[in-house]
Amino acid sequence: MSKTQQHSTQQAQDLHALRHSAAHVMAQAVRRLHPQVKLAIGPPIEDGFYYDLDLPAQLTDEDLPKIEAEMAKIIKDNHPFQQSFMAKDEAVKSFRERGETYKLDIIEGIPDAKVSLYTDGDFTDLCEGPHVKSTGEVKAVKLLSVAGAYWRGDEKNKQLQRIYGTAYFSKADLEAHLTRLEEAKRRDHRRLGRELGFFSFEEAAGPGVVFYHPKGALVRWLIEDYVRQAHLARGYLPVATPHIFRADVWKRSGHLEYYKEYMFLFESEGQPYGIKPMNCPGHILIFNAALHSYRELPIRLFELGTVYRNEKSGVLHGLLRVRGFTQDDAHIFLREDQLVGEIAEILDFAFEVLRTFGFAEYEVELSTRPEKFIGSVDHWTHAEQALRQAVEAKGIRYEVHEGEGAFYGPKIDLKIKDALGRSWQCGTIQCDFALPERFDVTYAGADGKPHRAVLLHRALLGSFERFFGMLLEHHAGALPVWLAPVQAVVIPLTDQQLDYARQVAATVRKAGGRVEVDERNEKMQAKIRDAQLAKVPYMLVVGQREASQGAVAVRHRKEGDRGAMPLEAFVQRLQSETQSRVGST
């Protein structure tokens, strides 16, 4: 490990201890204000911490300043964090006397004879640490919000109140983080989707299913069109598979054993069926419907496949976590000797696609065999080696996540970084020897005998829904010209220029542009403002002079006034930007 990596690791560990300590201080403050509180868990998380609390009174964000004020007193008192140990049976007795039912639940799951406690001042909590030396070190802290959370994440359990907060070692770092949070709120895809009229979630239809409105559906159509053309250019073959299969297929694939809780299952005419949570079995059935020679391999089957997963309502989050979504899903059937080269090709393809959408930074993770898996250990070892070799051959840095692979094979996950430096899970490449065994996937070798094929599962964007949300937040709603549902708005100065404005729109539309005419009885500045709010790339202002000269006065949403130019010149500019698929805003 380099000195830079060592420093980064130590910094992360120090922040972890600080935020863990801040969570304790917060719980201590809540107990002072609400002595009847029952404490659950309070871990540090990425960028902050939280604590789950059982309170008879409902907290709101308005209560947070009071809790912060009490925290300030505890911090000022500078109590040392002191660790102690207690026999498990004594701890059970102690926490039972205090009525801490959630702590008792935790203690019952601890296998050791002793449990670890931490005390600061008048507050003692069940905890393994680590912590900073004293409460006085928790200086730059801010409580952010109140939310609900089920105990143990199970909606059958009682819903607790969760207070989120964050902490840093300096006020400057805290202020920088709060500024990033405000910017993240401004970019929130749920707000942008509503304001721009892209999509909605309808209560009547149930949670986690997306309704794309005309503008949002158009953006999605443009993404799909690009993805389809890119796959055709790389030799992928389009397929389409049904949404429901008999349960026997899902039993054979292992989904009923390893993925059943996420599946929608039903019966028809006495037969059990499952709505597909993944596209792979369908593609395997298509491959198996014909005989294939080794000369044909690799065979790359591609589908924009819509799948459904029975996610718990508590984890649903806008477009980022839904129950119904579409994947740019491909399954590649190949010989084992072709694996490394094909994986390398997929990596090149993925980075090309992501750059087109404006994502230039990424992280790569390799996830290995989980505790529950199908197939042989030898096959898993070969699959992991192939993934490693391909990544290393490309000179790509990667992190290993032990035990995080899919149940049927190890995988490479691609994470992209957005304009705020946040990482988002995106594409994936999974190497699978197990499903070809289960479905008897073979090809005729050079010797004329059947040989077992290997299967690569891969998606470049992953879920279209999730990617759409990421894209909106990355660009703050101001999508690149080639993706903007409305590329230009024509704004006539007066009603006398309406006919010319319509002619301009017709010319732009005939050349392939997406354009609207703002015919409202509003002032020009109001129309420009509304077009800016709608994130339209270009505003074409036309008055008497422009009408007489066959021109348009061009205004860009980011660069402002670009002056007048012949309509033909603007059309050429728009066509050039659209065809080049410039990823910036």
Identify the active-site residue in 125, 142, 189, 327: 327
Catalytic one among 280, 431, 466, 518?
A: 280
127 tagged catalytic: no
d(CA 14, CA 253): 44
Asked about 530 being catalytic, the answer comes back as no
Contact predicate 456/427, CB 8 Å:
no
Given the structure tokens 């054979």, which residue do they identify? Answer: 252
Work out the end-to-end distance of the chain between its first and last CA atoms, rounded to an integer number of angstroms: 38
280 catalytic? Reply is: yes
- Residue of 411, 466, 475, 555 marked active site: 411
Which contacts (CB < 8 Å, 24+ apart) does range 241-245 have? 241/276, 241/279, 241/282, 241/283, 241/285, 241/286, 241/303, 241/305, 242/276, 242/282, 243/275, 243/276, 243/306, 243/308, 244/273, 244/274, 244/275, 244/276, 245/273, 245/274, 245/276, 245/281, 245/282
3-state secondary structure of 163: strand
H helix runs in 268-338, sequence order = 280-288
From the list 305, 332, 281, the residue with the least C-alpha distance to 462 is: 305
Tokens of 542: 């036309």
Q: Is 411 part of the annotated catalytic residue set?
A: yes
Candidates 276, 309, 323, 557; catalytic one:
309
Contacts of the segment 423-427: beta carbons below 8 A, 24+ positions apart: 423/363, 424/466, 424/470, 425/462, 425/466, 426/354, 426/359, 426/362, 426/460, 426/461, 426/462, 426/467, 426/470, 427/350, 427/354, 427/458, 427/459, 427/460, 427/461, 427/462
Confirm whether 329 is a catalytic residue. yes
Helix (H) or strand (E) holding 465, with range, is helix 464-474
Q: Where are the alpha helices (DSSP H) in 234-300?
A: 247-253, 255-258, 280-288
| Residue 431 designated active-site | no
423 within 8 A of 417, measured Cβ to Cβ: yes
Q: Which residues of 64-97 are buried (b: 16+ CB within 10 A; e: fewer)?
A: beebeebbeebbeeebebeeeebeeeebbebbee
Q: Please pick, among 63, 329, 413, 518, the residue that the annotation labels catalytic.
A: 329
Kindly name the residue from 31, 255, 388, 457 that is annotated as catalytic.
Answer: 457
The active-site residue out of 31, 331, 458, 474 is 331
The catalytic residue positions are 280, 309, 327, 329, 331, 411, 457
